[in-house]
Structure 1
Amino acid sequence: MIKKHIVSFSGGKDSTAMLLRMVEEKMNIDEIIFCDTTVEFPEIYNHIEEVEKYIKIPITKLKTQENFEYYLLNYEKKKGKAEGQLGYSFPDHKNRWCTSKFKKEVIKKYLKEKYPDEKIIEYHGIAYDEIERSKKNNEKNIQYPLIRWNMTEKECLQYCYEKGFTWKGLYEKFDRVSCWCCPLKNLKELKILYKTYPELWNRLKIWESKTYRKFRSDYTVEELEKKFKREDQQIRLPGL
């Protein structure tokens, strides 16, 4: 059976380091796939263009027919107790619907249609210090080059910097550059989002006003904003 070597590329530091080194070591690459969640940081889209120019290999960009906002607010649930309810609302630890809707389902459908008779080998950018994540995946067709190379997250970022990729300072602000609207970001990162991306923050507030579940289990977007403002006021008070 013919094998096809498919690189899963998110545009983050780990998948970028994996892709650059695979190209450097002349490993087999039949296609590189980026799944657009439609809520990526603007810097990610620019980074992807830079990587394409650097490796001189086209990157396939996939996305669902509907965007994140549609699934968040307007998708009509078809079964179960929530049948007829509109929107999945914000994802959480128990229901990360965004991962399946914008990545797993999209890639699976695409590969099945394009390579119906080939054996697919996927390459995922999981770093050495996140090896436990790879153990949770039972699919035998997925390989983890970064783990084989013992490359940690810190080493992946440094490797990318040495190649000239900076994401326009995105990793100086955030530890992880997942979807900008992810409720699973820590409070430090959410405060940076509030202060440096006001347009995106305002969009979060609008979304929360239209859905049935608050942004996080511990805070609404409005509550977070008040918290961040209080913290800044305390810093500015004399004698503190």
Structure 2
Amino acid sequence: MNIVSFSGGKDSTAMLLMMLEKGIPIDRVICVDTTKEFPAMYEHIKKVQTMVEPLQIEIVKIDFDYWFGEHIKTKGKRKGEKGYGFPDFRNRWCTSLKREAVKKIQQTISEEFIQFHGIAFDEKERTLKNKDRNIQYPLVEWEITEKQALEYCYSKGLDWGGLYEKFHRVSCWCCPLSRIGELRVLYTDFPDLWKELQEMDKKSFRKFRSDYSVADLTKKFANGI
């Protein structure tokens, strides 16, 4: 069984469409939704779905808001307190939730399977940690770079509503690990999302970033800094 991990980003999108073009059998396509993707990303996923039919993209949702601010910690220094707050380099709990969601699906599969991950050729070092697992990286095998993957998607009429013209990576809009320049774009071009981020900042026990809170960034960007 061949299972494609599909995030909706340029690399996994290019991989999925190229696999179909090359006639590589695909049994399942799994997409984990944190519910914090850009609106244009959800439109993109719908568009890709129409392109790959009758193959179905299975969307697994994670309740981000629950884990962010409502879940009661059962152990550790914050036992009894609410929420994980914003993730950081040491605690990427959102990434762990994605992996757990996929793992649960895999545990229901009785036959042997191969996973296909969309990692580009110029990021092939990321594949080393999984070299002994049943994971294949078609873009690495075909020597498709990030730039080539994006250009391929553009050639298919996929443009994410211009997101890749504003952001280097298109992931959760509320990610604290985003570059400052990209957070500035979020502030200027997506005011509704920034307002939601400000509300999240009030609920998180952990500062948005080690160098800035969302309130700090709001003042910084408002002053044109």
Normalised-by-shorter TM-score class: over 0.9
Tell me the distance in 2 between the aligned counterparts of 1:227 and 1:82: 31
Paired residue for 1:238? none
Alignment of 1:107 onto 2:105:
no
Native 8 Å contact 2:2 2:115 kept in 1: yes
Alignment of 1:88 onto 2:84:
yes
In the TM superposition, residue 85 of structure 1 has moved relative to its aligned partner by 2.0
Native 8 Å contact 2:208 2:214 kept in 1: yes
More off after superposition, 181-190 vs 73-82: 73-82
CA RMSD after TM alignment: 1.1
One-letter code aligned to 1:144: Y
Paired residue for 1:134? 127
Runs of 4+ in 1 over 3 A off after TM superposition: none
Tell me the distance in 1 between the aligned counterparts of 2:77 and 2:215: 29
TM-score where L is the length of structure 2: 0.96
Among candidates 181, 189, 198, match of residue 188 of structure 1: 181
Paired residue for 2:61? 63
Tell me the distance in 2 between the aligned counterparts of 1:225 and 1:206: 12
More off after superposition, 52-61 vs 38-47: 52-61
Equivalenced residues, count: 224
One-letter code aligned to 1:152: T
SS at match of 1:136: helix
Q: Among the aligned pairs, what percent are the same residue?
A: 53
Alignment of 1:211 onto 2:204:
yes
One-letter code aligned to 1:230: N
One-letter code aligned to 2:213: T
Task: Give per-residue Cα distances to partners, 1:126-154, cap 9 Å, x unaligned.
Answer: 11111111112255111100100111101
One-letter code aligned to 2:107: K
Paired residue for 1:166? 159
- Greater Rg over alpha carbons, structure: 1
SS at match of 1:7: strand
TM-score where L is the length of structure 1: 0.90
Structure 2 residues not aligned, in runs of 5+:
none
